[in-house]
A and B are shown apart, each in its own frame.
Chain A
Amino acid sequence: MNVQYYNSALALVNAVPHVRQIDPQFADLLLDKSQEYKDKIKIDLELEKEVFEFKKEIEKGL
């Protein structure tokens, strides 16, 4: 399933520069949707841990 989510996300991302020229708001929606698909890609636990560490580090300075 990872590949389908990845390909769908990539297809939307590739459309964004074209759409942004005439409809920036919709381009943002496409990016959000693309991100949703990317978020569904199962990441490995090690990666998840790294992301969580970065999240903590960013929040510390906010």
Chain B
Amino acid sequence: MNLKKKSRRVYKLYALEITTTEGCNFNCSYCFEKGTKPKVFDDKNYDLLIKRIHELLNNDWFQAEYEGLKIIFWGGEPTMNMSLCERIIQEFQDDERVCFFIYTNGSTMDRFIDIVKIANDKPFIDEESSKFVVQVSYDGNPINDNCRLPRDKDCISSTIVRNAIELLKESNVEFGLKATLPWDKFQWLPLVWDDFYSLYKEFGERIAYSATVDYYDVGFHKYEDIVKQSILNIARKEILFYRQNKKFLSNIFSGNKAICATGKSMATIDTQGNISYCHGCLYSENDFVYTSIFKDDFIDSIKESHDFFIKYEVEPDECKSCPSGLCLRCNVRKHDASEKEEFQDKWFDYTSQQELCEYYKLVGKIGTATRLILREEK
């Protein structure tokens, strides 16, 4: 392999998540936002929010440190507050340093797509990347239609998603699917994989099965045997897929132990204008708010957060020799599960969820076995 074959510049972007609303038109069985009274970003604060984003973009420290800004829309279902999404997109779409990303269930895509299309055609400094990326939540069936339930009982969520990705594909907008894999549904994993394979055949390269297990309420011990059998089943499917496509369909056997950008090059603004390190902070039992859009010196606090996390970011020795390949590490969850004393030790305590580590290790070993089989075939 020649690593010099191609090289391209990776632009350094700051990610700013905006929680447009906590409301959602779905009632997913595993949602951890259940039971809370949803708040919406107050429209009387729209102007202030936009002013603060301009200030960030024009700030000397920001410009020295970052080349652009990725504005991320978070919810609830962020498009339930379409007016704020639209206002922000229209305000910043002509700034070539700004790109957009949205998490969505796809239910409003018929109305949202025109806004996305206009923004997507605008210039972006990284000409080889998309100005607008849409991530649609889809778990694959049978999990999806059993767990992701629209409040409008006449709708089926997989149909909603299919319509959304057809619109996105027709409009040439970059999109991805993101799945939740509940512990008590692991027996359906092989069927889910088949569903994604059908979508792959229909929609092409943009389809991949990118699954996240519930890392808040870990149920690996309870379902260990089913989990193991399902992962082994998937391994066989992936081998057959790899023989044809020279890649895996799912991220399950991928090597991704990236350190999260939370707090360092990322911040989240909640519906009340409070700023914390990432959207994970919104669901913690701890308070991670460190400033707000109402404070004129909010950029100083963002800079302090950036410097703090750069100073203390560490990779524990235990992770360096770990057999896992994929390991999605949520620092907020690690912090909350940690028994250490200091904030920074808790935040980077990647081994504080041992049951989750056991799951990722199991998958890593099966992934290594899978790659051994493929290597022997070469």
Tell whether A and B belong to one assembly.
Answer: yes
Verify if B233 is at the interface (C-beta below 8 Å from A). yes
Residues of A within 8 A of B255 (CB): 9, 13, 31, 34-35, 38
Residue contact A23 to B369, C-beta cutoff 8 Å: no
Q: B3, B321, B366: which contacts A54 (Cβ < 8 A)?
A: B366
How many Å from the CB of A30 to the closest CB on chain B? 8
How many Å from the CB of A12 to the closest CB on chain B? 9
Q: Which 6 A-B pairs have the closest CB atoms?
A: A22-B128, A54-B369, A55-B369, A18-B10, A6-B320, A58-B235
12 A/B residue pairs, CB under 8 Å, sorted by A = A13-B255, A13-B257, A14-B258, A15-B10, A18-B10, A21-B129, A26-B6, A28-B246, A33-B3, A35-B371, A57-B232, A58-B236
How many Å from the CB of A10 to the closest CB on chain B? 6
B185-216 near A? 1/0 per residue, CB < 8 Å: 00000000000000000000100000000000
Q: B174, B235, B256: which contacts A13 (Cβ < 8 A)?
A: B256
How many Å from the CB of B232 to the closest CB on chain A? 6
Q: B128, B235, B372: which contacts A21 (Cβ < 8 A)?
A: B128
Residue contact B236 to A3, C-beta cutoff 8 Å: no
Q: Which residues 329-372 of B sit at the A interface, judged by CB distance below 8 A?
A: 365-366, 368-372
**Measured between alpha carbons, how far is A15 from B126 in the docked complex, in Å?**
16
Residue contact A54 to B365, C-beta cutoff 8 Å: yes
Instruction: Known A6-B320, A23-B6, A61-B236; judge A55-B257 contact (CB<8 A).
Output: no
Residue contact B205 to A33, C-beta cutoff 8 Å: no
**Measured between alpha carbons, how far is A2 from B236 in the docked complex, in Å?**
29
A7-51 near B? 1/0 per residue, CB < 8 Å: 101100111111101111010111111110010010100010011
Residue contact B1 to A58, C-beta cutoff 8 Å: no
**Measured between alpha carbons, how far is A31 from B371 in the docked complex, in Å?**
12
**Measured between alpha carbons, how far is A62 from B257 in the docked complex, in Å?**
29
Beyond A23-B6, A24-B205, 6 extra complex contacts between A and B, CB < 8 Å = A2-B321, A14-B259, A19-B10, A21-B128, A47-B323, A54-B369
Residues of A within 8 A of B257 (CB): 10, 13
Instruction: Known A23-B8, A26-B5, A58-B232; judge A51-B129 contact (CB<8 A).
Output: no
Verify if B130 is at the interface (C-beta below 8 Å from A). yes
**Measured between alpha carbons, how far is A26 from B233 in the docked complex, in Å?**
29
Residues of A within 8 A of B128 (CB): 21-23
Residue in chain B with minimal CB distance to A10 = B257
How many Å from the CB of B228 to the closest CB on chain A? 9
Verify if B54 is at the interface (C-beta below 8 Å from A). no
Verify if B155 is at the interface (C-beta below 8 Å from A). no
